[in-house]
């Protein structure tokens, strides 16, 4: 079988992982991006983002993987072009497709006689049809032709490489047998099942899946908040619920809400789309509202102990929206630190990977610490916002030894209550009883 020549437009999280994995299985892949520094980094053997396993995969695939700023170099001989550019949310929550259509115009100008264009970016239902029509308009009278495919991504930061190498399923929306055959060849050497369907259905699968998972998170957090009031333990409740195979135990971990590049954006986009068509999905609207409040729920708890934060030293452990990534998009740390600073607190932060990114928002306003003990030194309060392994394995005695007033507010339920109760501290988590006493 002839190696497929693939171009990937956009080398962010999705595009770069897609390019690396498809090169890894033997295709000839060229990534194209408008970011000169990023392309230079990639061609010199570097990796511009933190993603476990990705630097190694890029290194292994260097013989058949390259990067360029030139769409013509990438697309002129390509059989398949993946579009993996950002689709940021607009102020009203709808998806901004300007980068998608800018990429479409670049591909139309640079491509050869024919190719399959795969929309990998997360886009509203019907975008594939719009892209197909736009290509037909741009290519009219040239004799060149394009078939547009919807192939939404389901990659999680921190596990993106494995998510693509061993996906639970690959969703592919096609409108012709030729496109179906080519996409089957693209994924032939990956073990994941291929689920073919029409384009619009494939686009809906992405939104429906992410919104459903966001609903589970919002729901378990609502139950956790009720457990706080009624004296139940959310860990036991989630364990009992998850044992039911109809429910399952995934995404039932209570905490301070979801963040990242997918769930916040995709819930808002589906809410906007359904409202635009006068079919508002009320459960999605509720999930958005619940999550917005949940992200700052530790601040509300903190006010039980301090009427105001003026002059307090507050340690913040974890800045990334989840462990395994340096991504700060929609991270609870941004909301919580903003409130603390505005209230006059002295904020000390620690994160193993995300501090450089955080400096883009707060270059001088917070103290950046090289270790957890340094962040905790003489602190009046500690907020745990990301469950990094270093946090999970921390001896609770460190809180008592380092903090001036050991008040620990845990937004990720990192520690066993019985263990925390052995120490002279106050420990509050989400949906579980408060334990310990202040020293």
The tens digit of pLDDT for each residue in 17-47 reads 999 999 999 999 999 999 999 999 999 999 9
Question: And the tokens for 166?
Answer: 């061993």
434 occurs within a structural domain: no
The answer to whether residue 227 is catalytic is no
Pick 1 or 74 by higher pLDDT.
74
pLDDT number for residue 3: 80
How would residue 319 be classed by pLDDT, with cut points 50, 70 and 90?
very high
| CA–CA distance, 377 with 315 (Å, rounded to integer) | 8
Last residue of a domain, one of 168, 197, 226: 197
In contact, 375 and 349? CB cutoff 8 Å:
yes
| Cβ count within 10 A of residue 363 | 9
439 occurs within a structural domain: no
| CA–CA distance, 350 with 390 (Å, rounded to integer) | 11
pLDDT number for residue 346: 98
| CA–CA distance, 373 with 15 (Å, rounded to integer) | 38
| CA–CA distance, 240 with 279 (Å, rounded to integer) | 34
Residue 411's closest CA among 257, 292, 228?
Answer: 257
SS3 435: strand
Whether the predicted pLDDT of 184 surpasses 70 = yes
* 265 to 91, 177, 214, 260, 291: CA distances (angstroms): 11, 33, 11, 9, 12
413: CATH: 3.40.50.720
Task: State whether 171 and 121 are in the same domain.
Answer: yes
| Active-site pick, 262, 369, 382, 414 | 262
Task: State whether 264 and 237 are in the same domain.
Answer: yes
Task: State whether 367 and 400 are in the same domain.
Answer: yes
| CA–CA distance, 154 with 163 (Å, rounded to integer) | 7
Question: And the tokens for 383?
Answer: 């907020």
Residues spanned by the domain of 303: 297-428
Task: State whether 238 and 131 are in the same domain.
Answer: no
239 occurs within a structural domain: yes
How would residue 439 be classed by pLDDT, with cut points 50, 70 and 90?
very low
State the average pLDDT over residues 64-79: 97
User: Total domain count for the chain?
Assistant: 3
Which helix or strand (DSSP H or E) is residue 83 part of?
Answer: strand 80-83
In contact, 365 and 347? CB cutoff 8 Å:
yes
Task: State whether 288 and 301 are in the same domain.
Answer: no
Last residue of a domain, one of 197, 219, 245: 197
Question: And the tokens for 244?
Answer: 């039911």
| Cβ count within 10 A of residue 189 | 12
| CA–CA distance, 130 with 136 (Å, rounded to integer) | 10
66 occurs within a structural domain: yes
User: What mean pLDDT value characterizes the chain?
Assistant: 96
In contact, 98 and 87? CB cutoff 8 Å:
no
Last residue of a domain, one of 248, 268, 294: 294
In contact, 127 and 104? CB cutoff 8 Å:
no
| Cβ count within 10 A of residue 201 | 15
225 occurs within a structural domain: yes
| CA–CA distance, 286 with 303 (Å, rounded to integer) | 25
| CA–CA distance, 103 with 96 (Å, rounded to integer) | 13
Q: Can you name the residues that pair with 384 across neighbouring β-strands?
A: 317, 410
* Maximum distance among all Cα pairs of the chain, rounded to whole angstroms: 80
In contact, 29 and 64? CB cutoff 8 Å:
yes
Task: State whether 318 and 368 are in the same domain.
Answer: yes
Task: State whether 216 and 278 are in the same domain.
Answer: yes
Determine which of 34-43, 203-212, 297-306, 428-437 has the lowest per-residue pLDDT on average.
428-437
Task: State whether 193 and 54 are in the same domain.
Answer: yes
Whether the predicted pLDDT of 315 surpasses 60 = yes
Task: State whether 33 and 140 are in the same domain.
Answer: yes
Task: State whether 84 and 121 are in the same domain.
Answer: yes
pLDDT number for residue 185: 97
288: CATH: 1.10.1040.10
The tens digit of pLDDT for each residue in 185-227 reads 999 999 999 999 999 999 999 999 999 999 999 999 999 999 9
State the average pLDDT over residues 429-435: 95
| Cβ count within 10 A of residue 244 | 9
437 occurs within a structural domain: no
Residue 292's closest CA among 217, 391, 240?
Answer: 217
Task: State whether 264 and 327 are in the same domain.
Answer: no
Task: State whether 264 and 306 are in the same domain.
Answer: no
SS3 159: coil
């Amino acid at each position: 079988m002839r190696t497929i020549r693939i171009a990937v437009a956009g080398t962010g999280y999705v595009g770069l992982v897609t390019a690396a994995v498809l090169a890894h299985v033997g295709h000839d892949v060229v990534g194209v991006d408008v970011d000169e520094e990023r392309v230079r980094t990639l061609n010199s053997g570097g990796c511009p983002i933190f993603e476990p396993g990705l630097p190694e995969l890029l290194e292994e695939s260097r013989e058949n993987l390259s990067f360029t700023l030139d769409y013509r170099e990438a697309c002129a001989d390509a059989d398949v072009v993946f579009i993996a550019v950002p689709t940021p949310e607009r102020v009203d929550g709808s998806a901004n497709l300007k980068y998608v259509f800018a990429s479409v115009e670049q591909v139309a100008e640079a491509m050869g006689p024919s190719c399959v264009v795969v929309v990998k970016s997360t886009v509203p239902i019907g975008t594939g049809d719009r892209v197909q029509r736009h290509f037909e308009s741009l290519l009219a009278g040239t004799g060149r032709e394009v078939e547009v495919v919807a192939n939404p991504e389901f990659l999680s930061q921190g596990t993106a490489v494995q998510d693509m190498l061993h996906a639970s399923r690959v969703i592919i929306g096609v409108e012709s047998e030729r496109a179906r055959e080519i996409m089957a060849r693209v994924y032939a050497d990956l073990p994941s099942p291929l689920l073919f369907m029409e384009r619009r259905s494939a686009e809906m699968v992405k939104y429906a899946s992410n919104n459903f998972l966001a609903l589970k998170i919002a729901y378990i957090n609502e139950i956790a908040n009720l457990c706080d009031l009624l004296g139940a333990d959310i860990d036991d409740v989630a364990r009992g619920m998850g044992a039911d195979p109809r429910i399952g135990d995934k995404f039932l971990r209570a905490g301070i809400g979801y963040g990242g590049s997918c769930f916040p954006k995709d819930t808002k986009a589906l809410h906007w789309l359904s409202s635009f068509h006068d079919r508002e999905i009320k459960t999605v609207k509720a999930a958005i509202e619940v999550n917005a409040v949940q992200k700052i729920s530790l601040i509300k708890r903190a006010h039980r102990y301090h009427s105001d934060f003026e002059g307090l030293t507050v340690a913040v452990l974890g800045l990334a929206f989840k462990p395994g990534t340096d991504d700060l998009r929609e991270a609870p740390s941004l909301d919580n630190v903003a409130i603390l600073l505005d209230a006059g607190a002295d904020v000390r932060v620690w994160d193993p990977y995300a501090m450089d990114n955080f400096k883009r928002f707060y270059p001088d306003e917070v103290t950046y610490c090289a270790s957890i003990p340094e962040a905790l030194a003489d602190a009046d309060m500690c907020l745990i916002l990301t469950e990094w392994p270093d946090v999970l394995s921390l001896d609770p005695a460190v809180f008592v030894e380092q903090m001036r007033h050991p008040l620990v507010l845990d937004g990720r339920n990192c520690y066993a209550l019985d263990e925390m109760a052995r120490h002279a501290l106050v420990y509050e988590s989400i949906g579980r009883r408060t334990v310990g006493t202040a020293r």
